[in-house]
Structure formats: structure tokens, C-alpha cells
Copies of this chain bind each other. A is one copy, B any other.
Amino acid sequence: DIQTLRLSVSQLEKGGYPHFMLKEIYEQPNTIFDCIRGRVVNNATEIKLSGVIDHSDRFINARRIIIVACGTSWHAALIGQRLLQDIARIPTSVEYASEFRYSNPVLTSDDIVIAISQSGETADTLAAIKLARENGAFVYGVCNVVGSSIARETDTGTYIHVGPEIGVASTKAFTGQVTVLAMLALAVAQLRGTISQEKLSEFSRSIEQLPSLIKETLKLNDAIEKLSSTYTYVRNFLYLGRGYNYPSALEGALKLKEISYIHAEGYPAAEMKHGPIALIDREMPTVVIAPSDELHEKIISNIQQVKARGGSVIAIVTRGDTTIPEIADHTLEIPPVPEALSPIIVSIPLQLLAYHIAVMKGCNVDMPRNLAKSVTVE
């Protein structure tokens, strides 16, 4: 018996997935494996990034780091800021590339500018790099596309190595960027002596576990697809997170905005009471990123405030959390992961939530209206 297989070229490219975005979400156990391969080395006792090794004096003497980026990469930058400050103890700030390029920054040759861009072609980021170099700063690139303009225009850098990203809404590039920034913080900390060998090994082993943790987290897909139908006709969404997951809230909101055209906005959870809480009612649900960390009690209180005002809550919690499932409308459990790496795991349910809501709304998730994959114009 000959069976005819009906598949178009585009279906083949999508590897059986209905959209590139879903394929790319599911690729993440592999892309993160590729991203860390050869970089977490010697039985997880060492982080090896050639860009850091070749320019160790720059990192040892760094007075300040400024990260420039746009869009999703800007959210990765905010997580990178926290990683570099916490682990490598270098004062770090983040700027929108489009703002930085037209500012008059205070830069010296002791400063490091890190530029993040998936495509390596983002016009504003390229212009920011040019300005940084003119001012004598050392420029480190974090991009995906090998040989791209940013890779060529920077002094050195680290590729995220997650393979071509086709979906306009970035998924695997984001998790790759955060993973590179975590490794960068560790490599620099190693150089500067701001981390013990024990802590370095522990953190490195956690990085090695990311692919399997992502794989486990992807099992949330069916539950997320199911709950998504409840929110298809919602017009506004709030996303809240704290600490390392405040940028996750921004990124989760951006994903939904990009592909479902729902007006979603991210906020640091504690800022809710300085304005956004006025918006909360039955028509505006809130996604709360609430892993079990030091600030767990605070975020429980945020959830209670939303509930008290009639809002519904989708909470992302750590497996075993018994408090939040009792007050939230929907709970999504992720496996335990160190706080500094949690944005990578948290991003999986956020990507899937945006994806399923957009698909149910009938949106073109791979090519959302008005958006380009790489913004090569100002």
C-alpha cells in the first residue's frame, strides 16, 4: 500500500506545527542546549565565553555597563541588568537604543556597551553602537544572525545560536538572549572574583538543566490552550511581576499585544497601586508571575488586591505552591528554578498563552499586522 503524504513545503518547514511561532516555542529545549554548548564547561565549573576571555581587562576594569536594545531584546536587557549587577557587581543601566542614539551619553573608555538584537540589523541599535564607539566605549554584541551588521560593528560578543527565527514575535531568541546574559554575568563574575567557585558551579549546573526544565514546562500547553478560550474576547490585560520577573511581565504583555492585538501592559507589581489598579474590573484580567521566591508574600498580596476589585487572575507559580491556587482563577505550575534563571522558564507559559489566544482570535500569529521581523529602518 502506498500512502500519499499531503504536505506543503511550508508545512514541512514548520516541522508539522501549524505555525512557525509554535514550532519555535517547542524548539527551545534544543535551542537553549545549543546556546550553552561549549560555554558551560569542565563539569560546570567554568563559563567559557571567548568574547570575555579575549577582552578580560575591559571587564575587570569596567566602571559601568550600559545595555542598548529595542523591543523584546530590551526586555532581555532589563534581566541582563539585574544579572550583571547581582552577580558581577558592575553598575548597569538599560537604554532604548532609539533614545540612546539621540542622547548625549556620559561615556568613557572604561564603560562597556552591550548591544542586543536578534537579527543583528536593528537600525536604532546599530546607530547606538556607532555612538558608543565614537565615545570610546567597548561594545559587546549579543545577536543571533551570524555575520550580521551588529556582529561586525561590535568589538566582540556572543552569538545566541538558536537558529533562524521566522515568527515575527520573538520567542526562542528571547530565551537565548537571557541565557547568554546569565552566562556573561557568570563569566565576568569569575574574572572579577565576585562569585565563589561553589556558587558558580551551582549556577552553571542550573543553566545546564534549563533544556530539561523547558521541556517539562512545555507540558503546560494543553492547559493553556484550554484556559485561553476564556480570554479570547478580552480587550485589555495587565501583566505583573517583581524582581527578575518584572521584565517577564513586560515581555509577556508584548507577546500578547504583538500577535493578538489585545492591549496588554506589563508593570512591576508594586507599581500597580500607583495607577494601573484603577483599571482593574471584571473586564480586565491580570497575569501574575508569582514563583516561590523571597517576595512571594508580596505578590500574594498583589493578587488579593486584584481579586478584591473583581479582576480575574492567571497566576504562574512554582510547583507545590498551595496558597495562590486557592485565590487565583487559573494557576500554571512551573518547575522550581533559581530566581535569576526563572524568566527563561516563565516565558514558556507566557509565549503559549499569547499564541493560543491569538490563534483562537483568528490572528495571523506568524505575521501580525503592521509589524516587521527585523526593524531595519528608524
Contact A268 B370 (CB under 8 A): no
Report the minimal beta-carbon distance from A200 to chain B, rounded to whole angstroms: 17
Residue of B246, B263, B375 touching A279 (CB-CB under 8 A): B263
Tier of interface size on chain A: 35 or more
The yes or no answer to A106 lying at the interface (CB within 8 A) is: yes
Residue of B85, B263, B271, B372 touching A71 (CB-CB under 8 A): B271
Q: Give chain A's interface residues, CB within 8 Å of chain B.
A: 64, 70-72, 74, 82, 85-86, 89-91, 93, 96, 98-99, 102-106, 124, 235-236, 242-243, 246, 254, 257-259, 261, 263, 265, 268-271, 273-281, 284, 294-295, 298, 301, 309, 368-372, 375, 378
Contact B257 A275 (CB under 8 A): yes
Contact B279 A257 (CB under 8 A): yes
Q: What is the total number of copies of this protein in its complex?
A: 2
Contact A96 B271 (CB under 8 A): yes
Closest 5 CB pairs of A and B: A71-B274, A98-B270, A93-B93, A277-B370, A236-B263
Report the minimal beta-carbon distance from A106 to chain B, rounded to whole angstroms: 5
Measured CA separation A236–B284 after assembly (Å): 12
20 contacts between A and B (CB under 8 A): A71-B274, A74-B271, A82-B103, A85-B105, A91-B91, A91-B106, A98-B270, A102-B242, A103-B243, A124-B270, A235-B235, A254-B274, A259-B278, A261-B281, A265-B265, A270-B378, A274-B375, A277-B370, A278-B369, A298-B378
Measured CA separation A82–B105 after assembly (Å): 9
Contact B106 A90 (CB under 8 A): yes
Contact B268 A72 (CB under 8 A): no
**Sample of 9 further A-B pairs with CB below 8 A, known A89-B106, A98-B242, A98-B268:** A70-B274, A93-B93, A99-B243, A102-B243, A102-B295, A257-B279, A275-B371, A278-B370, A278-B371
Measured CA separation A241–B279 after assembly (Å): 23
Q: Which residue of B lies closest to A237 (CB)?
A: B263
Contact A280 B370 (CB under 8 A): yes
Residue of B90, B91, B275 touching A254 (CB-CB under 8 A): B275
- Residues of B within 8 Å of A85, CB to CB, are 103-106
Report the minimal beta-carbon distance from A65 to chain B, rounded to whole angstroms: 10
Report the minimal beta-carbon distance from A253 to chain B, rounded to whole angstroms: 9
